[in-house]
C-alpha cells in the first residue's frame, strides 16, 4: 500500500498506471472493491468538487465513507494518537488540510494509505485529473507547452510537480513578487502566451488583483497562443478577475465536462494506493 501526497513521489510510469486504472474504472471494473472497507475523510465545509467526487467514488466502489470536518485534526490531541486509534478501523484516509507536513505525519503514523486531497502547497488529485483529461483530447499532452497564470500557490506548485514528473514545458505569468522558483516567468500575458498550447489559471486573492492587471486572460490573449490552444481555469474561477467573461463563453474554455473524470481518477488513486 502506498500513500498519494506529492506527484513527485511517483514516476511517469506510475502516473500512466493510474491513467490505465481510470480507463478500467470507466469500463465498470473494480465495482465492490471497497466492500466492507471504511474510508475516513477530513474535509472543510467549503469543499465541493473534491469532496463530492471522493464521497461518491467511495460509494460507487462499495465502501463506507466517514466524514469529519478538517478542523478535527487541529485539536489538542497529538496526531500520533489520533492515527493510533484510526489504525484499528480505517482502511484508507483522505485528508484536505492546509499543512502538508500534517498529512505526511499522518502517513508516517498510519498503517493504511493517506491521500492528499489538497494542501497549501499542492493539489495532486486535481492536477492528475486534468492531465488524464488532456490525455484524452490532445495528441500527446506532454509535448504541449503549458502556461500557468497565477500566484505561487497550491495550484501553480502542483502544476510544477506535474511538469517535473511528466517532463512537459511549464512557464508562469504573474505579478512581480509572485514567482514560482525554477520557472521561466513573465509579467505580461501578451509575452507569456505566445507559443503556448495549454493555459491554466488560478483565482487570485483580492489584494493581488492590482498586481496581476497585466496578466488578465481574455479571448484576444488566447488568440495569440498556438492554434488549438485550450484555457483550463482551476475552479473556483472568477469572471472579470483572472479570466474575462467572454473567454469563459468561448471555444478556448475547456468547459465543465473537463472535470468530469475527477470522479474516476480519484477512484483509480484509491485503488492504486490500496493495491500497490
* pTM for this entry: 0.96
Helix (DSSP H) and strand (DSSP E) numbers for the chain: 10, 9
Quote the pLDDT of residue 1.
Answer: 78
**By the 8 A CB rule, do 15 and 276 touch?**
no
Taking only the tens place, the pLDDT of each residue in 9-57 is 999 999 999 999 999 999 999 999 999 999 999 999 899 999 999 999 9
Parallel, antiparallel or unpaired: strands 64-69 and 38-43: parallel
pLDDT of residue 273: 97
Residue that has been written with the C-alpha cell 481574455 in this structure: 218
Tell me what pLDDT residue 77 has: 95
* pLDDT value of position 276: 85
- pLDDT value of position 203: 96
Q: Which among 124, 58, 117, 121 has a CA at the least distance from the CA of 91?
A: 58
Give the model confidence (pLDDT) of 212-226 as tens digits: 999 999 999 999 999
pLDDT tens, N- to C-terminus, the chain (276 residues) = 799 999 999 999 999 999 999 999 999 999 999 999 999 999 998 999 999 999 999 999 999 999 999 999 999 999 999 999 999 999 999 999 999 999 999 999 999 999 999 999 999 999 999 999 999 999 999 999 999 999 999 999 999 999 999 999 999 999 999 999 999 999 999 999 999 999 999 999 999 999 999 999 999 999 999 999 999 999 999 999 999 999 999 999 999 999 999 999 999 999 999 998
Amino acid at each position: 500500500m502506498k500513500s498519494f501526497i506529492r506527484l513527485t513521489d511517483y514516476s511517469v510510469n506510475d502516473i500512466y498506471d493510474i491513467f490505465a486504472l481510470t480507463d478500467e474504472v470507466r469500463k465498470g471494473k473494480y465495482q465492490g472493491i471497497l466492500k466492507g472497507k471504511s474510508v475516513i475523510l477530513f474535509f472543510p465545509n467549503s469543499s465541493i468538487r473534491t469532496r463530492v467526487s471522493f464521497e461518491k467514488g467511495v460509494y460507487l466502489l462499495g465502501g463506507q465513507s466517514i466524514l469529519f470536518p478538517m478542523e478535527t485534526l487541529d485539536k489538542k490531541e497529538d496526531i500520533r494518537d489520533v492515527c493510533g486509534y484510526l489504525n484499528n478501523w480505517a482502511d484508507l484516509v483522505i485528508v484536505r488540510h492546509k499543512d502538508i507536513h500534517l498529512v505526511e505525519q499522518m502517513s508516517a503514523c498510519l498503517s493504511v494509505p493517506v491521500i492528499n486531497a489538497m494542501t497549501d502547497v499542492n493539489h495532486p488529485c486535481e492536477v492528475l485529473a486534468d492531465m488524464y483529461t488532456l490525455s484524452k483530447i490532445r495528441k500527446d499532452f506532454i509535448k504541449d507547452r503549458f502556461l500557468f497564470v497565477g500566484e505561487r500557490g497550491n495550484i501553480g506548485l502542483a502544476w510544477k510537480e506535474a511538469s517535473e514528473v511528466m517532463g512537459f514545458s511549464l512557464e508562469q505569468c504573474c505579478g512581480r513578487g509572485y514567482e514560482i522558483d525554477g520557472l521561466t516567468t513573465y509579467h505580461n500575458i501578451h509575452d507569456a502566451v505566445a507559443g503556448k498550447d495549454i493555459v491554466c489559471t488560478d483565482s487570485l486573492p483580492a489584494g493581488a488583483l492590482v498586481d496581476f492587471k497585466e496578466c488578465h486572460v481574455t479571448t484576444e490573449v488566447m488568440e495569440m497562443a498556438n492554434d488549438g490552444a485550450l484555457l483550463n481555469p482551476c475552479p473556483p474561477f472568477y469572471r472579470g478577475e483572472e479570466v474575462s467573461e467572454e473567454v469563459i463563453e468561448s471555444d478556448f474554455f475547456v468547459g465543465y465536462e473537463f472535470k468530469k473524470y475527477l470522479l474516476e481518477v480519484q477512484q483509480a488513486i484509491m485503488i492504486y494506493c490500496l493495491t500497490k
